[in-house]
Chain A
Amino acid sequence: MSRPRYTKVWRDLRRAGGRIVLMTTAVAVSLIAVGAMLTARTVATREAAAEYAATRPASATLDVAGGVGRALLDQVRARPGIADAAARQTVTARVRVGDAWRKMLLFVVDADDPLRIARFDVERGAWPPPADGIMLERSALAVLGGGDAVNVTASNGRTGRFAVTGVVHDAALAPASQERTGYGYLTPAGLARLGLTPEPDRLKLVVAGDQSTVDARARETAEWLTAGGHTVHGVSAPPIGRHPHQSQVDSVTLLFLGFAAAALLLAAVVVATTLGGMLAQQTRQIGVLKTLGATTAQILGTYLLLVLAVGAAALAMAAAPSVLAGVALTGLLSDMLNLDIADTSVPGWVFAALAAAGLGTPLLVALVPLTRAARTTVRAALDHRGVASGTAKRPIRVPGGNRLLALAVGNALRRRGRLVLTVALLTAGGALFTGGLNTANAWETWVHDGMARRAYDAEIVLARSSPADRVTGPLRGVAGVTSVEPLDARPAVPVGGGRVEVARTYPDGGHGALSLVALPAGSRMTDFEVLRGRALREGDRGVTVLNQGAATRFGDPAPGERVTLRVEGKDVTLQVVGVVAEVGGPAAAYTPADAAAAVASAVRLVYGDPGTLGRAEQALAAAGIPVQTVIPTEELRTAVDGHVLILIRTLVVLAGLMALVGALGLASAMGIAVTERTREFGVMQTIGATARTVRLTLILEGLAIGLAGSLLALIAGVPLAAYVGDLLGVLSFGLPLPLDLSLTGMAGWTALGLAAAAAATSVAARRASRLTVKDTLTYE
């Protein structure tokens, strides 16, 4: 080769094989994380948008009392700004699965509905089903226990057996397993078999334009209907083109991408530290190169080429696994979104971004130490005599006076710049690790504590409201029931400036919903944490306590302010007296029930024996009170966990990667330390140090660094956990997670940090201890 400088780069790479492998592995591991997150985010977002759009979700849905007939529907379709309209019905029922009840949403669609709006894909069977048939949403199959038929119990108490004639996929719905709800599709004829009157009360509108246009057209239609003598209970327009879980997935994948980028930055620091060590060894060579005519730019270019080679090798190692991991993660996300990933192709820009990150980040981070090294003057380079004795003015003393330990600590302090970088690497890796585990722990604890604030075992939602005494009376006599409390929950929408605010509720009725809940005075079934103001008290009138979800919907009012809700067509104005934190519930405004005319739409029970629930339902049935659905508190917990468990686990995996990169950094630093001090080991051995002493000194040095990094990581992990907890908590519950440190995780990290330090050092220490005195003293 006529360009020996490049030959030098190649041979230097081969000569420093171990370190190159360390650097490349660190960069490759982090690139896999970056690529996986980028792939998952890109593919999941693209597919979610495409598939959700393909369902042609309604831009807005109006809840019209009494239903919308064909003639009225035609008039709506003819209104300006309305591109299309359909009238559907959604009925809440329940299904017996084993010993438990599951909530069931029945979507009633006319047999001749052209399905231009709120479409679903038929995956098995044919639409429409016969009157005694039902098609199930595919994610509901597991929730409903499988089987060829389902026994659906309507709110009137009547049960109908429906043959499962097919399976549909409705990408606009959140997965049934997460919502713990079954989804069924049937015709009005099928609904009639349950003794219910087909009444298409959901007027679905398609409006072209942005969210404000949709809101305006929906309001105008509602006002037009009201003027025509119809009652519109609510107007809902979910965010355009966004799946119910889209925001959650977007934000969390962005958070993960941030973690992965942090891993890449750590890996780049590993590269810079390792290269710094290699350059320190090559300082004399740099001086020689300059005497031969090499300019600073040529030397810098040569070493940048080396970094580029590391980045390119890491990129080659990471490209395929990162895409595979990304596609696998997309699969998990698609389960969270109830989507089919039709197209897993990764756009070219993802590869370009990965390449830019893989090649660019190490280059940028290494630029400073490389430039510094390349600018070394010939004089300084030729005078270089290896590792300096350091700037310590006083001898190092350690507790117990152990000289070996003192030597190890002193050695660790000799290269302060590198020590700071190594400890910073371990700290950052460990902080992300403990931060991830602390967040997971905070999640667990908060959900557990949040659920513990619900002192009831199950909530029975009634098919229709009844006087509270009529409901609680029969239940108090049921064996095993230790406590009963009625509540009256009604769908509500905020009213602002005299106009009904458009709700952002999705068709499943859960995501984005708001309820006004009347609780009996002195209710003891819930004890939500008070965030602002106070809880409800006996004797309160005309006041409300909002949970955090409702507070957000009303623009975070302060205690003392008034809010107005429209409930069943009537406006209710209440004074806010407090805001509480509620885990696992939709947005709710709690208000004291009118003791004289208390009504129950649901009842909460406390019992010891799970069999009690069945007896309670029988008692209600015997009293002629139909049940719509039953929600055991444990089910609620499962639903809450289902929303973020995968995300928490992914966070822990990412945290593990950070720890790995940190350990690789330590291994690299120790390798450099050994190489730099090769001569010293020879000197030590000539004055009587055994190979074991040399090994032990290095291991102690590594452990000292590992301990420092681990302890600092524990400290740095706390604010990180607070930040991530804030983000996850707000996404999931509308509130930051409290800081709840995982002592097991922190102890685990300390042990892991020390073990990694010992392992990383022992390889270098073994190599050092095997050198003969002659090897070391002749080492140049």
Chain B
Amino acid sequence: MSTEVIDVQGAAKSYRTPAGEFPALRGVDLSVAPGEFVAVTGRSGSGKSTLLNLLAGIDRPTSGRIRVAGTEVHTLPESRLSSWRGRNVGMVFQFFQLLPTLTVAENVMLPMDFCATRPPRERRPRAMELLDLVGIADHADKMPSALSGGQQQRAAIARALANDPPVLLADEPTGNLDSATTDVILSMFTARAAAGTAIVMVTHERDLSGWAHRQVHLADGRVVAEAAR
């Protein structure tokens, strides 16, 4: 039995476009172990976001197999995907995607609310614990718009960890941040990986050798290079 928390085999994905069939991924294999931090790099259109979407169950592969946290994601019906995702995958976006009408703490409590992973009275303390972990506990009751980009991304990471998922998927999480803040965010991912969470981060930045355990480079929908730290 595989110990990998993510196991992708021969994943291919094509899109129909007015110009015809466009292959975004062409038979990608990828395995990620618990506690491993993998950076997926590549140019725009290389297929890295498509790969992340397949891992999160946001998209379904045209062919191949996607196994995440012990579940064949591509076989799950749409009606079960959300709850599965809420419990097993934390997502971090480039533009943070905090809900603008909720405070930072409320944003972090939201996954617990939807998935009922903790009793109501424990949700706020858990949110505060996570915000403290990412260093913005003081801003818990502020609205997202009152925070800087870096602070918002920390809040987004805290939210992604709310249900303690085994997998964290990040789509260009530092793409909108300055270099100092980028370092802070990446160090958080490293720390989280050390705590046992598998992290897959999509980025167009090539040099992440100081942070990720492994770097997978995609081009034209194929893995063209793979390097371990």
Contacts and interface: CB of A to CB of B under 8 A. Distances in A.
Nearest to B97: A288
A379 B120 contact: no
A772 interface: no
B9 interface: no
A293 B86 contact: yes
A98 interface: no
Nearest to B108: A4
A291 interface: yes
B2 interface: no
Contact of B102 (A7, A290, A293): A7
B72 interface: no
Interface stretch (A209-217, A294-302, A571-579): A294-302
Contact of B58 (A1, A8, A291, A293): A291
Interface string B77-99: 01101110111010101010101
Interface in B114-148: 114-115, 120-121, 123-124
A8 B109 CA distance: 12
B61 interface: no
Contact of A2 (B78, B97, B111, B121): B121
A573 B175 CA distance: 100
B116 to A, nearest CB: 9
B174 interface: no
A291 B89 CA distance: 8
A4 B107 contact: yes
B101 interface: yes
B114 A293 contact: yes
Interface residues of A, number: 27
Nearest to B121: A2
Given A293-B163, A296-B79, A298-B114, A3 B120 contact: yes
Contacts of A378: 56-58, 81-82
A293 B82 contact: yes
A3 B113 contact: yes
B106 A379 contact: no
Interface class of chain B by DSSP: helix
Contacts of B121: 2
Interface size grouping (class) on chain B: 35 or more
A377 interface: yes
A291 B56 contact: yes
B78 A11 contact: no
A284 B95 CA distance: 11
B59 interface: yes
Interface in A1-41: 1-5, 7-8, 11-12, 15
Nearest to A378: B58
Nearest to B119: A2
Contact of B99 (A2, A285, A379, A382): A285
A292 interface: yes
Contacts of A3: 113, 120
Given A4-B113, A379-B53, A379-B58, A292 B86 contact: yes
Contact of B101 (A12, A291, A293, A780): A12
Contacts of B97: 284, 288
Interface in A341-388: 377-379, 382
14 contacts: A2-B123, A4-B107, A4-B109, A4-B110, A7-B102, A289-B114, A292-B91, A292-B114, A293-B82, A293-B114, A296-B79, A296-B82, A378-B56, A378-B58
Interface of A: 1-5, 7-8, 11-12, 15, 284-285, 288-296, 298, 377-379, 382, 780
> 4 shortest A-B CB distances, which residue pairs?
A293-B86, A2-B120, A11-B101, A4-B106
Given A4-B102, A7-B102, A296-B78, 5 more contacts: A2-B123, A3-B113, A292-B162, A378-B82, A379-B53
